[in-house]
Amino acid sequence: MEFTTGNWMAAQGIADLQATGYLFQEFRLHLTNVDHIGTYSVITITNIYYADGLDFKPFTLVDGYIAITSLNPNSLYGVFNILLEDEYHGHEIREIVGNFCIGTN
């Protein structure tokens, strides 16, 4: 990803991250009620999303997790491993794995 924006609002427990690639890839992360480390409970495609800019445009999150590994008033760190389902050009399920760090603005 070439362009990223994000914000960690520790007092409200809200984390947002958006990233785009030069080939129109898109990644979004939106978490609320973040107040401790550990697995983020009950995730949906509104919490985490990835599209490859070509023919993978998922409509649902099949399975996976987001884990908060470290947090403080200035930054939030975590990892994720998710399965997203797409039917844009035929049925496909992809595993998306990564980590993130979001700071305050």
The residue with tokens 């509104």 is 46
Contacts of 42 (CB under 8 A, 6+ apart): none
| Cβ contact 31:17 at 8 Å | no
The three-point CA angle 84-71-45 to 5° equals: 15
Sequence spans of domains, the chain? 3-103
Q: Which of the residues in the chain have pLDDT under 50?
A: none
pLDDT tens profile 17-44: 999 999 999 999 999 999 999 999 789 9
Total-model pTM? 0.90
